[in-house]
Structure 1
Amino acid sequence: MDSDSGGTMSRAERGELKCAQVLAGARRVFLSDGYEGASVDEIAREAGISKATLYRHFPDKAALFSAVLAEECRTQAGLHPELCYHDRPIADFLLDLARDVLNFSLGEFGQSIYRIAVAETVRFPDIGKTFYDTGSELNRVRLAPALELAVERGELVALDPDYAAHVFYGICKADLFIRGLLRIGDPPAPEEIEAHARRSVETFLRAFGKHD
């Protein structure tokens, strides 16, 4: 426990490594047990460090949880890289995006971190805003320019791109996402996810697509 990995590392580098070690252990425990069920003792064991080392980096469980969720929000923000839409039909772009959104939001990690964020927002008000800003809001910022370009190219009717972006993500998460959160039925099979992605795009284009 608390073993050093390499004597050539600076003190700052060792500190960063220990901090990452603590966060990795805490992430596993929080996702498994939630905030209330997680204990500092268990987190220290999972991280392979002493409680004294943990407390040198984080004063209490609340600070540790906030740090873990902030890190997960940063990870979530990078999970959906901007797809190139300039030279692609909007339908193809949206289908790839729908697949990306569904694979993340229906996965065990995506569902677990969502449940925890919602459950703990009352206790930690900043968590809700951070989770929204790096999730729904970031998705809107990334999708809106593609929708604007599609309007200019005559693929979509005139629309409010910000509103339409939120509508698209709402359609993608309809039913399957809520069923997953509530653990209703078995997790969707890949073919069900693919069918839902295609229906989501078709529904969006029926509402906003240019029809001759």
Structure 2
Amino acid sequence: MTRKRISGPERRALILAAARRIFSQYGYEGAKTLQIAREAKVSEALVYRHFPSKLALYRAVMRQVFSEQDSHFQHLGLQETNAAGLVRTLKTYFLTSIAEGAPDEEQRFRMTLASLAGDGNFASLIYRRAQRLNAKLVHEAHQNARESGEMTGKALRPANTAMFVEHIGIMISAIQALAPASRPYASDGYDLAMDAVWFCCRGLGLSDETIARYIDDEPHIPATA
């Protein structure tokens, strides 16, 4: 039986997918092109034929991740700049964080963690891009929620609160990769996501009445491939 010949673009995509898996496990500094070649089941020379250096390959992975980040913002970003939008967006975000079967999402979170443990360049870029995408809408949502009386207490900086939420979500997603018996939470799945929503909403200064009013709305969860 003759083997189906894989085209150049298909081979490049396989190498890119393998590189993403390796970078998510070892970070840029720890990853080796030989590991990537073995993961892709090709020779190291073929990797270099498609990508002239490890840095070029890493940058290709980063461009892929940035494109996904933009797409996720369209699905997961604030749809309403008010208290309702904050609660609904947090619910969607944390349900996405605990979702099974989304390897691209898990790899992106792991790449961020690996970067933070290394040179930090990738994580810094991801966070700066997220702030640019979110800052204006989050600020408006905080302002409108305060004007409506649904957010009270000390006013926190929206940029910081957005990062605090991100920190919780990324750790939940990373821990979800562990075996169920190894996860340190007292709950799992939907209940875990809802605890995270209540925790963050209370931290923002939203009243329990406000949270309860909007938390049962059906969230929009983008389909995973």
Normalising TM by the smaller chain, what interval?
0.5 to 0.7
Counterpart check, 1:27 vs 2:20: yes
Distance in 2 of aligned mates of 1:175 and 1:18: 33
1:3 counterpart SS class? coil
CA-to-partner distance for each residue in 1:32-61, whole Å, 9 max, x for gaps?
Answer: 344454332231232244333321232222
Displacement of 1:26 in angstroms is 0.7
Displacement of 1:95 in angstroms is 2.0
- The correspondence for 1:170, drawn from 160, 164, 171, is 164
Q: Which residue of 1 aligns with 2:103?
A: none
1:34-183 equivalences under 5 Å are: 34-80=27-73, 81=75, 82-85=77-80, 90-103=82-95, 108-121=106-119, 125=121, 127-150=122-145, 155-156=150-151, 163-170=157-164, 173=167, 177=171
**Alpha-carbon RMSD:** 4.0
Check conservation: 1:25, 1:43, Cα contact below 8 A: yes
The verdict on how the C-alpha distance between 1:120 and 1:18 changes in structure 2, with shifts beyond 3 A counting, is farther
Consecutive unaligned residues of structure 1, counting only runs of 5 or more, are: 6-13
Larger Rg computed on CA atoms: 1
The verdict on how the C-alpha distance between 1:105 and 1:77 changes in structure 2, with shifts beyond 3 A counting, is farther
CA-to-partner distance for each residue in 1:111-160, whole Å, 9 max, x for gaps?
Answer: 412212213435xx4x3442222334433244233334445656557x98
Distance in 2 of aligned mates of 1:146 and 1:186: 33
Check conservation: 2:138, 2:158, Cα contact below 8 A: no
The verdict on how the C-alpha distance between 1:175 and 1:98 changes in structure 2, with shifts beyond 3 A counting, is closer
Distance in 1 of aligned mates of 2:25 and 2:149: 48
Q: What code does the residue aligned with 1:192 have? A: L
Q: Which residue of 2 aligns with 1:196?
A: 196
Q: Percent identity?
A: 25
TM-score, structure 2 length as denominator? Answer: 0.62
Q: What code does the residue aligned with 2:183 have? A: D
CA-to-partner distance for each residue in 1:17-37, whole Å, 9 max, x for gaps?
Answer: 443232111112222344454
Distance in 1 of aligned mates of 2:114 and 2:6: 33
Q: What code does the residue aligned with 1:139 have? A: N
Check conservation: 2:135, 2:159, Cα contact below 8 A: yes
2:6 counterpart SS class? coil
Distance in 1 of aligned mates of 2:184 and 2:5: 40
The verdict on how the C-alpha distance between 1:103 and 1:170 changes in structure 2, with shifts beyond 3 A counting, is same
Q: Bigger relative contact order, structure 1 or 2, given CA contacts below 8 A and separation 6+?
A: 2
2:183 counterpart SS class? coil
Distance in 1 of aligned mates of 2:168 and 2:47: 41
Q: What code does the residue aligned with 2:142 have? A: L
Distance in 2 of aligned mates of 1:172 and 1:106: 13
2:72 counterpart SS class? coil
TM-score, structure 1 length as denominator? Answer: 0.65
Q: What code does the residue aligned with 2:84 have? A: D
Distance in 1 of aligned mates of 2:28 and 2:166: 29
The verdict on how the C-alpha distance between 1:143 and 1:43 changes in structure 2, with shifts beyond 3 A counting, is same
Consecutive unaligned residues of structure 2, counting only runs of 5 or more, are: 100-105, 211-225
Counterpart check, 1:186 vs 2:180: no
Distance in 2 of aligned mates of 1:46 and 1:179: 23
